[in-house]
A and B are shown apart, each in its own frame.
Chain A
Amino acid sequence: DAGVIQSPRHEVTEMGQEVTLRCKPISGHDYLFWYRQTMMRGLELLIYFNNNVPIDDSGMPEDRFSAKMPNASFSTLKIQPSEPRDSAVYFCASSSTTTPQEDTQYFGPGTRLTVL
């Protein structure tokens, strides 16, 4: 398997623009997680899905952030409008509840977002 795939790997945009980050989880995984990593706050869970349904979005910072999972193989995280404080590395991770005793989360390479 190719692992978790994220695109783009790097995104530079101007304040006020819409940004869409994309994730393809590992095939067969039924959980998908979006994280944000910054120097100040470390790794924060933003939202996670189970079988394409959002389960907990309490980590989403504000209404400018939205996430969707239209099918089992694709998810997006959208920021509209973007602000400089959104600059961070955004990770997607997936896991499978069919693997007993592990439920390990596998991470993608991340998208480094810079908002000018």
Chain B
Amino acid sequence: GEDVEQSLFLSVREGDSSVINCTYTDSSSTYLYWYKQEPGAGLQLLTYIFSNMDMKQDQRLTVLLNKKDKHLSLRIADTQTGDSAIYFCAPRGAGSYQLTFGKGTKLSVIP
């Protein structure tokens, strides 16, 4: 089955850019999602990218997809303290409605 790897922790200063990386194993993944989880809350969809795209920009968020290397990244520009949370990468396999989640990257924003 799919295996998804993420770094567990990332710390950045307020105003800097954050880059959260993810690698996955299933080359047939069609949609790749980024979710955000704040303390004590459920997962909130941030953005997603379809596998035929290399990049998607949505306000402060930029998603980059390298299909050859099976590498996905999420860039948050002008990181704010409110961005402190755990970020999950979740690819969806072809013909499937299941998502496979990474362990999540805990982003800490230093004021």
Q: Is B42 a contact of A104 with CB atoms below 8 Å?
A: no
Query: Whole-angstrom distance from the CB of B8 to the nearest CB of chain A?
Result: 10
A25 proximal to B (CB < 8 A): no
For residue B12, which residues in chain A have a CB less than 8 angstroms away from its CB?
Answer: none
Interface string of B23-64 (1 = CB under 8 A from A): 000000001010100000111110010100000000000000
| A side interface size, CB within 8 A | 23
Chain A interface residues toward B at CB < 8 A: 4, 31, 33, 42-43, 45, 48, 50, 56, 91, 93, 95, 97, 101-110
Residue pair A109, B88 in contact (C-beta under 8 Å): no
B104 within 8 A of A: yes
Classify chain B: how many residues form its interface, as a range.
20 to 34
Main secondary structure of the interface of B (DSSP, over half): strand
Closest to B88 in A: A43
State how many angstroms separate the Cβ of A4 from the closest Cβ of chain B: 8
User: Which of B33, B41, B48, B98 has the largest count of A CB atoms less than 10 A from its CB?
Assistant: B98
Taking the closest CB of chain A, its distance from the CB of B60, in whole angstroms, is 20
Tell me the minimal C-beta distance from B10 to chain A in angstroms: 17
